Chains A and B, each alone.
Chain A
Amino acid sequence: MGNGAIEILGVSKSYGKTLALDNVSLEISKGEIFGLIGPDGAGKTSLFRILTTLTLPDAGTATVGGRDVVRDYSAIRCSIGYMPGHFALYQDLSVEENLKFYATVFGTTIEENYDTIRDIYSQIEMFRDRRARDLSGGMKQKLALCCALVHKPSVLFLDEPTTGVDAVSRREFWAMLGRIRESGVTIMVSTPYMDEAGLCDRIALILGGRIIGTGTPEEIVSGYPERLYAARGGNMFGILKVLRGVEGVTRCSSFGCECHVSVPEGGPDEKVLLRALAEAGMTGCSVEPIKAGIEDCFMSLS
């Protein structure tokens, strides 16, 4: 194996009859933010639990920092930071007590590693005596990140850190991740939000336990195999119905207030699509070519 921070080779895991991970292979380099993008139930948490040595893979091997997740699990546990998808700190302990507890458990102190967490901790330090259960969602998340960082881990695992967090806090959070990466920490983060994919250095798209695409966000986007159009208009449902009936359209799905139409090379162009809408009696519509986003790629790969 190479010298990536995390190497995953042919990992499979099933719970009873449900196949959670199906022959997953990934390589994550040192010091990058690697995003695992996929909808709920895609297998993101299962993969995280294997990498954080909490569950055993049924097949395949994985290493974190060059150490095997099964054999050297106790060595891995010393060198990683983990933030589970749910709030896993002690609700009845205060902010400071939680942080102190995790610092001590990892054999360090808040003071010793204050530099690592200052950036984030300074934002919640004024609430240090407040019980964790009384914190807002965004503050809980910051505290959890502090606890995961307090021992200067070399690899940070963040399982859906931004789920249920407001847009402003999400942006702040990603800015923090960028600064953490600068200190040399490898970050593996999972998210169901496609718009966050562009903030990662590299991403992997996961669906039904299988990796359906990896690369930088640009690579993924440029790898989109077809032409894409955005159709707008008053009657979204009508537009969707009409365009799906047009010959040569591979896929047509709604994205917020517009409708993305995927057409293979040589298929109908925007004029054809617009004409089809007009013929169906839909006026005031517009159709224009657009660049594919991560979500479009996800749709085409799935």
Chain B
Amino acid sequence: MRQILSFIQKEFRHIFRDVRTTMIVLVMPVVQIILFGYAVSTEVYNVVVDVVGDMTDPEVRRIVERIDANEYLRIGEVLPSVSEIEGRFRRGSPKAVLCFGDRFDSQAGSGKGASLRIVADGADPNTAQTVTAYLMGVLASEQMEMATALTGSSGPSFSPNIQLMYNPAMSSSYNFVPGVMGLILMLICSMMTAVSIVREKEFGTLELVLVSPVKPFWIVLSKLAPYLVLSLVNYVSVLLLAHYVMGVPVNGSLTLLTLASLVFVGSSLGLGLLVSVISKTQQTALMICGMGLTMPTMMLSGIIFPCESMPAVLQAISCIIPAKWYVIMVKKIMIQGVGFASVAKEFAVLTGMMAFLLYVSIKKFKTRL
């Protein structure tokens, strides 16, 4: 037992004496969560909308004021004619331009209806889509009010009342936090473990440690232990940040979430160990982790792109990525607040993966060079 403890102590010394390792292990997770939470956001906020139209027209003024009052939109310039739209887009200031037809107020009041055009900057389709949706919303409510004012009653019309369950404000951190949690835990566990074992291979220190009474199984275990501890520290800090800074709720059971995270950490450690078994140099290990683990995890586990919209082949591949199952579970537990029964399938899959990966990699770990 003393042998194992001294192994673990040695491992911690390696981690904390190397500034780069310490940074990766302790600072990177915080930076990532803040980066994803604030900077890398798909939300649109304070988008500039230009207007082409007669600003003396009362109805136009009303609509423009409404838009300006909207917290996501802001009125930029009033352009004298549509020919200037392209120039404005090219300079990049507005994301959309609202063009009112002539004599908008009186036309709208008459039975013929007024003409109105929304021109959005399609170079950035995501923003364009969101902005037009916001504008449509503003226009629809204005239209409703107009109709009421004209006829005296709201008439036989309906408007859908959209409600986003679990994420009423449509905050993108609800999507990113579970994804980043998966990414961070996997990076710490897989990459750091793989690199730390391969480094001993490369420097020849493993040679000396193997020629000792300590069984290789215990060597492996004491290599994994520090990263298990560190990933739990990260789990806690990411969770605290997500909850108190990003405002992401933890609706479900914290115990269940922790349990799921432990299983995921276990499978990531297994992956890291497997990488260390097959690579001879730290560079190879880093390449395998980067290209073989991080990239697929980012792309295929539903962190950025939804799995459902992928081609069947990629969907199949995404099923063998542990992070996918973990991210699904985190979303369900944290945001939907479901109990164990609802995540039983994902839990079982991940546990199976963990058992398989740990068994194979420990079995494969050589007792000789």
Taking beta carbons and an 8 Å cutoff, which residues of A are in contact with B? 49, 52-56, 73-74, 77-78, 80, 82, 84, 86-93, 97, 100-102, 104-107, 147
Q: State which of A49, A90, A106 has its C-beta within 8 Å of the C-beta of B369.
A: A49
B205 in contact with A55 (CB, 8 Å):
no
Complex formed: what's the CA distance from A89 to B6 in Å? 15
- How many chain B residues touch A (CB < 8 A): the figure is 24
> Which residues of chain A are within 8 angstroms of B6 by Cβ–Cβ distance?
100-101, 104-105
B 40-92 contacts with A by CB, 8 A: none
Q: Is B137 an interface residue (CB 8 A)?
A: no
B18 proximal to A (CB < 8 A): yes
Interface centre among A73, A90, A102, A107 (most CB of B within 10 A): A90
Interface CB pairs A-B, < 8 A, 25:
A53-B211, A54-B207, A54-B211, A73-B367, A73-B368, A74-B215, A77-B210, A77-B212, A78-B213, A88-B205, A88-B207, A92-B14, A92-B17, A93-B10, A100-B6, A101-B6, A102-B212, A104-B6, A105-B3, A105-B209, A105-B212, A106-B213, A107-B2, A107-B213, A147-B208
- In-complex Cβ contact of B10 among A49, A55, A90 (8 A): A90
Residue B7 is within 8 A (CB to CB) of chain A in the complex: yes
Q: Given A90-B10, A92-B14, A93-B10, are A105 and B368 also a contact pair (CB < 8 Å)?
A: no
Task: Encode B13-44 as 1/0 by CB contact (under 8 A) with A.
Answer: 11001100000000000000000000000000
B10→A101 contact, CB < 8 A: yes
User: Considering only CB atoms, which chain B residue lies closest to A148 in the complex?
Assistant: B208
A147 contact set on B, CB distance < 8 A? 208
CB distance from A153 to the nearest CB of B (A): 10
CB-CB under 8 A from A106, the residues of chain B are 212-213
Q: Is the CB of A86 within 8 A of B3?
A: no
Q: Which residues of A contact B207 (CB under 8 A)?
A: 54, 82, 84, 88
Q: Cβ of B208: which chain A residues have Cβ within 8 Å of it?
A: 82, 84, 88-89, 102, 147
Task: Give CA–CA (A80, B208) in the complex, Å.
Answer: 11
Q: Known A-B contacts: A78-B212, A84-B204. Give 13 more (CB < 8 A).
A: A54-B207, A54-B210, A55-B368, A55-B369, A84-B207, A87-B204, A101-B10, A102-B212, A104-B3, A105-B6, A106-B213, A107-B2, A107-B3
Encoded as 1 (CB less than 8 Å from any A CB) or 0, chain B from 186 to 219 comes to 0000000000000000011101111111110000
0/1 per residue, B210-243, Cβ < 8 Å to A? Answer: 1111110000000000000000000000000000
Q: Which residues of B contact A56 (CB under 8 A)?
A: 368
Q: Which residue of B lies closest to A131 (CB)?
A: B17
Q: Which residues of A contact B209 (CB under 8 A)?
A: 105
| Shortest distance from the beta carbon of A102 to any chain B beta carbon, whole Å | 8
Residues of the A chain whose Cβ atoms lie less than 8 Å from the Cβ of B369: 49, 54-55
Q: Determine how close the nearest CB of chain A comes to the CB of B121; give it in whole angstroms.
A: 53
A88 proximity list for chain B (CB < 8 A):
203-205, 207-208
Q: Which residues of A contact B210 (CB under 8 A)?
A: 54, 77
Query: Is there an interface contact between A89 and B205, defined as CB atoms closer than 8 Å?
Result: yes
**Shortest Cβ gap from A253 to chain B (Å):** 35
Expressed in whole angstroms, the Cα–Cα distance for A100 and B17 within the complex equals 18
Q: Return chain B residues, CB-CB under 8 Å to A82.
A: 207-208, 211
Query: Given A54-B369, A55-B369, A105-B6, are A90 and B205 also a contact pair (CB < 8 Å)?
Result: yes
CA A73 to CA B211, docked complex, whole Å: 9
| A92/B18 contact (C-beta < 8 A), A54-B207, A101-B10, A105-B212 known | yes
- Supposing A55-B369, A107-B3 touch, asked if A77 and B205 sit within 8 A by C-beta, the answer is no
| Distance (whole angstroms) from the CB of A222 to the closest CB of chain B | 37
A91 neighbours in B (Cβ, 8 Å): 203
**Given A78-B213, A106-B212: A54 and B205 within 8 A (CB)?**
no
Nearest 6 pairs of A and B residues by beta carbon: A104-B6, A78-B213, A88-B204, A88-B208, A54-B369, A82-B211
Interface centre among B7, B17, B18, B368 (most CB of A within 10 A): B368
Q: A90, B204: Cβ atoms under 8 Å?
A: no
Residue of A nearest to B369 (CB): A54
Q: How far is the CB of B311 from the nearest CB of chain A, in Å?
A: 42
- Give the distance to chain B from A98, nearest Cβ to Cβ, in Å: 9
Q: Are A104 and B204 in contact (CB under 8 A)?
A: no
